[in-house]
Chain A
Amino acid sequence: MKQTESTWQVLRQIWDALVVLWWRFFDWLAVVPWKTLVIVSVLLMVVAAILASPIPFILFILVSFIIKAVAGGKHTADVAASQAVQRAEKEQLERTALEAHLEALQAQIEPHFLFNTLASIDQLILTDPPRASRMQQSLIRYLRSAMPKMRDGSRPTLGQQVDLSRAYLEIMAVRMEERLQTVVNVPEGLKSAVFPSMMLQTLVENAIRHGLEPKAEGGRLEIAAEVVDGRLAVRVRDTGKGFAPTSPGGVGLANIRERLNVLYAGRAELVISVPAEGGTCAAITVPYEVASPATT
């Protein structure tokens, strides 16, 4: 009983070794150049002629050639597939790096805004300390969310982006006084929607800087969001100076377009339009997705 078992085991080991050898031979055949294979065959024929038993050798060579013809194709396909996977991984990495770079560019805090705000706070400390404190708190909230930061893996939500812009607008309202009226029209239910970082803020800053600040009497700024046909549209509309067709459009807008392309590959867009009443309307449309509750 014991005897047969050990024999069985030995046979099994031999079989395993043969299988490994076979696949090694198979792999070698698959990658070896035809030229080498032909040279090896000629050498084998010489050996066969010396041994005077050519039949097994000829059979062996024939089988090798057939296997080579079949396995070669399979091997090429395998290599192509693994290369494609590597390329896709590399591309994904590159896209992630590009998006991180573009996002950091977009998150740059405008020095004029920062210093003007600090100067306003400085003045309010003397004349209206409670208001100075509120303005400083708005600035802190703005800076906390606008500073480039390491991602904890969660995706930014529309709610976070609206809060950031709200802090910014609170500051601008103190500085511009009656020259700025703001309306935020974002339904509570949309605050958990995924929305890329700093894009809304770029539109808001553009509206203030190029639309309302250059206009002596100022005007109105409205942020609105809605879902239409499974797509989330976020709009910033101002009654400011309007758009000069020769203005290069700033780095900001080009940056948004590029990021939308990297993030959504054609499924998102930025549209600038001119409302009938004048001013500018900028709308970003992205696929509507709700951030998973764990990450909000």
Chain B
Amino acid sequence: MHDARRTTAVIADDERLMREQIASRLREAWPELEIVGEAANGREAVALVRSREPDIVFLDIRMPEMDGIAAARALAGQVHVVFVTAYDEYAVRAFDEGAVDYLLKPAEPERVALACRRLRERLQQKPAPMEDLLAALSRRLAGGDAKPRDYLRWVQASVGSSLRMVPTSDILFFQAEDKYTRVQAASFGALIRKPIKELIEELDPAEFWQIHRSTLVRIGAVERVSRDLRGRQRVHVRGCDERLEVSRSFSHLFKQM
């Protein structure tokens, strides 16, 4: 039992007003609960819980540096967790009766009182490790279970005096040029340092095709493929006069065209 010392809690939220709000609601619902610290981001929350060893941590889900779910994973088994969120887009509610509780901001006094009652019960047991639950939540936070690989969607290129983020959907083709790679868009060209070999690895293969040892073309930008007298294929790209040579080893790509 916790009679020997008072029950303690840490509150983590990046907005001070929200920390104040949780603290004042808790004072009403559970006057004996002692708030031993407040954190403004996930990393601070983890450090604070490890140093103060509170019984309970209230974690905002959206926080800088480390989100609330990642913080809960880092603290699994060490502390009882209550998630706090303004809008339950990750459906924490679905885990309502499980090992973890949640509060919606602004927390209604009755709901806070209920959470406190549940916490008093949970305090009889050791904090649950909640591994499966947190793994499921962080998958949701990352945007679904079957998350595709993170392909390169932007290329950093110097255009004039500025360093631009060029969306790959604007790029017509990449071409190796000595030590650099030329990036050709409809309205400008630029040189980047990333070699073709690395680009092949990082770009979405459904978006860019290699047609030559030194050329990657965005398939959506291809207008047509022509053939010269010797049978060599040339790719015509929309919005650009240049013809790109298709080397023999890649000519099978356009067999059907």
Tell me, in angstroms, the Cα distance from A275 to B156 when the chains sit together. Answer: 12
Q: Which of the segments B4-12, B114-122, B127-135, B157-165 contacts the partner chain? A: B157-165
Max count, chain B CB within 10 A of own CB: residue among A174, A179, A214: A214
List B contacts of A216 (CB < 8 A).
40-41, 43-44, 64-65
**Option from B87, B150, B164 in Cβ contact (under 8 Å) with A111:** B87
**Are A175 and B87 touching (Cβ within 8 A)?**
no
Give residues of chain A (74-124) contacting chain B, Cβ–Cβ below 8 Å: 111-112, 114-116, 118-120, 122-124
A-B interface contact total, Cβ < 8 Å? 98
**Are B163 and A274 touching (Cβ within 8 A)?**
yes
**Interface band, chain A:** 35 or more
**Option from A112, A126, A276 in Cβ contact (under 8 Å) with B87:** A112
B105 contacts partner chain A, Cβ-Cβ < 8 Å: yes
Tell me, in angstroms, the Cα distance from A275 to B158 when the chains sit together. Answer: 11
Shortest B183–chain A CB gap in Å is 13
**Are B151 and A123 touching (Cβ within 8 A)?**
no
A245 contacts partner chain B, Cβ-Cβ < 8 Å: yes
**Are A175 and B164 touching (Cβ within 8 A)?**
no
**Are A214 and B20 touching (Cβ within 8 A)?**
no
**Are B64 and A243 touching (Cβ within 8 A)?**
no
**Are A273 and B21 touching (Cβ within 8 A)?**
no
List A contacts of B86 (CB < 8 A).
111-112, 115-116, 119
Per-residue contact bits, chain A 203-224, to B (CB 8 Å; 1 contact, 0 not): 0000000000111100000000
B89 contacts partner chain A, Cβ-Cβ < 8 Å: yes
**Are A245 and B20 touching (Cβ within 8 A)?**
no
Shortest B155–chain A CB gap in Å is 7
Max count, chain A CB within 10 A of own CB: residue among B43, B44, B104, B167: B167
Tell me, in angstroms, the Cα distance from A250 to B151 when the chains sit together. Answer: 14
A272 contacts partner chain B, Cβ-Cβ < 8 Å: yes
Tell me, in angstroms, the Cα distance from A272 to B159 when the chains sit together. Answer: 11
B253 contacts partner chain A, Cβ-Cβ < 8 Å: no
A177 contacts partner chain B, Cβ-Cβ < 8 Å: yes
Shortest B32–chain A CB gap in Å is 22
**Option from A116, A249, A273 in Cβ contact (under 8 Å) with B164:** A273
List A contacts of B164 (CB < 8 A).
271-274
Tell me, in angstroms, the Cα distance from A203 to B16 when the chains sit together. Answer: 25
Tell me, in angstroms, the Cα distance from A274 to B161 when the chains sit together. Answer: 11
**Are B17 and A247 touching (Cβ within 8 A)?**
no
Given contacts A111-B87, A111-B89, is CB(A119)–CB(B154) below 8 Å?
Answer: no
Max count, chain B CB within 10 A of own CB: residue among A116, A127, A243, A275: A116
**Option from A127, A213, A245 in Cβ contact (under 8 Å) with B155:** A245
**Are A177 and B21 touching (Cβ within 8 A)?**
no
Per-residue contact bits, chain B 16-32, to A (CB 8 Å; 1 contact, 0 not): 11101100100000000
A248 contacts partner chain B, Cβ-Cβ < 8 Å: yes
Tell me, in angstroms, the Cα distance from A273 to B165 when the chains sit together. Answer: 5
A176 contacts partner chain B, Cβ-Cβ < 8 Å: yes
**Option from A112, A118, A127, A276 in Cβ contact (under 8 Å) with B62:** A112
Tell me, in angstroms, the Cα distance from A216 to B105 when the chains sit together. Answer: 21
Shortest B148–chain A CB gap in Å is 10
**Are B89 and A112 touching (Cβ within 8 A)?**
yes
Extra pairs beyond A119-B21, A177-B16 (7, CB < 8 Å): A115-B105, A120-B17, A215-B64, A216-B40, A216-B65, A253-B167, A257-B167
Residue numbers of B with Cβ under 8 A of A are 14-18, 20-21, 24, 40-41, 43-44, 62, 64-65, 86-87, 89, 104-106, 150-156, 162-165, 167, 169, 187
Can you show 11 pairs from A to B with CB atoms below 8 A apart? A112-B62, A112-B89, A115-B86, A116-B15, A123-B21, A123-B106, A177-B16, A243-B154, A245-B152, A249-B154, A272-B165
